[in-house]
Amino acid sequence: MENQIVKADGNGAIDVNGQVSPVTYTVSLKEHSYEVDIRLMAPRDWLLQRGFERDAVLVSQSGARITVCHDRGRLDPADTISIELSARDDSCGNEVDLMRKYPEFDGAGTG
């Protein structure tokens, strides 16, 4: 039987070249795993105006700074208006580390 995927939403900030803006994001993981996928959507024009090329920093709810990337390479003005940025974090070795770094999962059915 396949593991269920647990998802949770968080509020944080996106930092592009020192310019910060509030952002919502989604974290997800397979049950009984400590590898977290992070996804957020950001406005293309906002990113371009701040010199965004391929990656930015998400400041998560816990204060962790996570590099998020645009998977399609360098951002282009012809890209869609809303740009997905993502990351995969495998730095948590156990549930305590996971909950400390990602309190968004508290009550989301992890473990």
pLDDT digits (tens, 9 = 90+) for 73-103: 788 888 899 999 999 999 999 999 999 999 9
Tokens of 7: 């998802």
Q: What is the pLDDT of residue 110?
A: 53
DSSP string, 29-86: EETT---EEEEEEEEHHHHHHTT-SSEEEEE-TTS-EEEEE-TTSS--TTS-SEEEEE
Q: Assess contact for 75 and 52: CB atoms under 8 A.
A: yes
Instruction: Report yes or no on whether pTM surpasses 0.85.
Output: yes
Tokens of residue 3, six digits: 């593991």
Could you tell me if 26 and 40 are in contact, meaning their C-beta atoms sit under 8 angstroms apart? yes
**What's the rounded Cα separation, in Å, for the pair 34 and 32?**
7
pLDDT over 70 at 109, yes or no: no
pLDDT of residue 2: 58
For residues 42 and 68, is the Cβ–Cβ distance under 8 A?
A: no
Q: What is the pLDDT of residue 73?
A: 77
Residue ranges of the domains in the chain? Answer: 5-72+81-105
5-61 pLDDT, tens digit each:
899 999 999 999 999 999 999 999 987 889 999 999 999 999 999 999 899 999 999
Task: Indicate the pLDDT class of residue 1, thresholds 50, 70 and 90.
Answer: very low
Residue 66 has pLDDT above 80, yes or no: yes
Rounded CA separation 97/1 (Å): 26
Tokens 């977290």 found at: 36
